[in-house]
Amino acid sequence: MGKTLSEKVWDEHVVRNAPDEPDLLYIDLHLIHEVTSPQAFDGLRLAGRKVRRPDLTLATEDHNVPTIDWDKPIADPVSRTQVETLRRNADEFGVRLHSLGDVEQGIVHIIGPQLGLTQPGMTIVCGDSHTSTHGAFGAIAFGIGTSEVEHVLATQTLMQARPKTMSVTVNGSLPAGVTAKDLVLTLIAHTGTGGGQGYIVEYRGSAIEELSMEARMTICNMSIEWGAKAGLIAPDQVTFDYIEGRPSAPKGADWEAAVEHWKTLVTDEDAVFDKEIVLDADTMTPFVTWGTNPGQGVQLGQNVPAPKDFEDEGDQVAAEKALEYMGLEAGTPMREVKVDTVFVGSCTNGRIEDLRAAAAVLKGRHVAADTRLLVVPGSVRVRLQAEDEGLDVVFKEAGGEWRGAGCSMCLGMNPDQLQPGERSASTSNRNFEGRQGKGGRTHLVSPLVAAATAVRGTLSSPADLEA
């Protein structure tokens, strides 16, 4: 019997396996940021251990960093301490760090692909659940906790039980105005937040193959939101074209050898998945969340659901709590939900294509009165590229705020936060209670919906602007 893509990549990285023990897996790339690493470096110091492979390790500052005044010391003393701790640790252990102010700084999952460090067939980990983003290249990439960060620093390996495999086949083509974000939100509403648990998921089918690398990253990024261990997409010419010429891409004969190997990284025809899901892209429409987990979503054209709409008693209770927290009444058309802040950014939708999509909608238009638009590029390179293309001018002329790179309002560890009761339309990945600031209410949306919402002040798609 043949192997699935994820089984091939997994098997290439098994250092050791023994009965009744998890596999010992080699890690090709370990990404680090300031929030989940300090206790891991402390552990190394206490045990007198070194970083085994600093040459396979890369650190950046993203979660805490301010998106204004980034050339000044960080104002929040606690955030500053955490960032300074990372700088000291990187220096002491010889790890390459892209600090605030460095042209390569940015959200950890944006800069890996951008530098060409993310390549097919790799194993990539980071103390951050959205590490699944890198799966878009046909890599096995997943988030780990701080104990595991320490384990990888010390040994460049991880003990991992082999996950089951699942395929999500998306047939057809996404209609115009419907994006990768809508696709993945539709999927999560279908599976629930626990539907992927214990599986590495391969996204496949014509609708996936037609996507750009950036859109594929959006899909894989949200794998964790339905509980999957990791999500990946088989590498193809789109993948190779994206990587070629980037700073860390293989060159010359190495490039030829690498591509030859990468072309073998596809699921064999006779391979069997433990579970299969099939979706149809042709019928998809813009999709938004109404509740407090990413599975609580509906089509933009639908209404806020009522608890009684759900069969499962647990779902009914969850819906009731979510509606109360979100301050929404069942039956309200989603299009009538008024939004205070629109956030465009994050590792889900903070890449150049996302900013281009939002800018195309906003060009020649203005943000609604009482609505705030915050645009935060995912990396310094994305910011510079956008400025080169004049996108910053589009955002500013529309009345939006143009910021520096970082995680920003996705999780509100820096000053970019919602006020209690404030409502956002956000291109990020989590609508959990208080995620974007205590008492804040989040609707997850695509960059197109975000931009149209900023113009109308209520949840909208670009088509609503033409009506």
Partner 1 sequence: MEKFTTHTGTALPLRRSNVDTDQIIPAVYLKRVTRTGFEDGLFAAWRKDPQFVINRPEYDGATVLVAGPDFGTGSSREHAVWALMDFGFKVVISSRFADIFRGNSGKAGLVAAEVTQDVVEQLWKLIETEPTTQVVVDLQERTIQAGALTAPFRIDDYTRWRLLEGLDDIGITLSHEEDVTSFESSRPSWKPATL
For residues 331-390, which are near partner 1 according to CB under 8 A? none
Longest dimension (CA), the chain: 66
Question: Which of 8, 10, 33, 57 touches partner 1 by CB under 8 A?
Answer: 57
Phi and psi at 13, nearest 5°, equal -115, 5
Q: Which is nearer to partner 1, 70 or 432 (CB)?
A: 432
Bridge partners (DSSP) listed for residue 375: 344, 402
196 vs 380: CA distance, rounded Å: 33
2 vs 167: CA distance, rounded Å: 15
- Regarding 65 and contact with partner 1 (CB under 8 A), the answer is no
At 332, list the tokens.
């309200």
- Regarding 274 and contact with partner 1 (CB under 8 A), the answer is no
Q: Which is nearer to partner 1, 371 or 408 (CB)?
A: 408
At 463, list the tokens.
């088509």
Q: Give the shortest CB-314-to-partner 1 separation in angstroms.
A: 5
Q: Near partner 1 by CB under 8 A, which window of 73-81, 359-367, 378-386, 448-456? A: 73-81
Question: Which of 3, 68, 70, 85 touches partner 1 by CB under 8 A?
Answer: 85
Q: Give the shortest CB-419-to-partner 1 separation in angstroms.
A: 14
Question: Which of 99, 212, 248, 385 touches partner 1 by CB under 8 A?
Answer: 248
- Regarding 257 and contact with partner 1 (CB under 8 A), the answer is yes
- Regarding 272 and contact with partner 1 (CB under 8 A), the answer is no
Q: Give the shortest CB-334-to-partner 1 separation in angstroms.
A: 21
- Among 267, 145, 163, smallest CA distance to 208 is for 267
Q: Are strands 29-32 and 57-60 parallel, antiparallel or unpaired?
A: parallel
Q: Near partner 1 by CB under 8 A, which window of 180-188, 249-257, 395-403, 443-451? A: 249-257
Distance of CA 107 to the CA centre of its chain: 10
Question: Which of 172, 177, 205, 250 touches partner 1 by CB under 8 A?
Answer: 250
Q: Near partner 1 by CB under 8 A, which window of 37-45, 204-212, 353-361, 394-402? A: 37-45
CA distance to 247, 281, 284, per residue, from 175 (Å): 35, 8, 7
Phi and psi at 106, nearest 5°, equal 165, -175
Q: Which is nearer to partner 1, 52 or 275 (CB)?
A: 52
- Among 198, 153, 165, 189, smallest CA distance to 2 is for 165
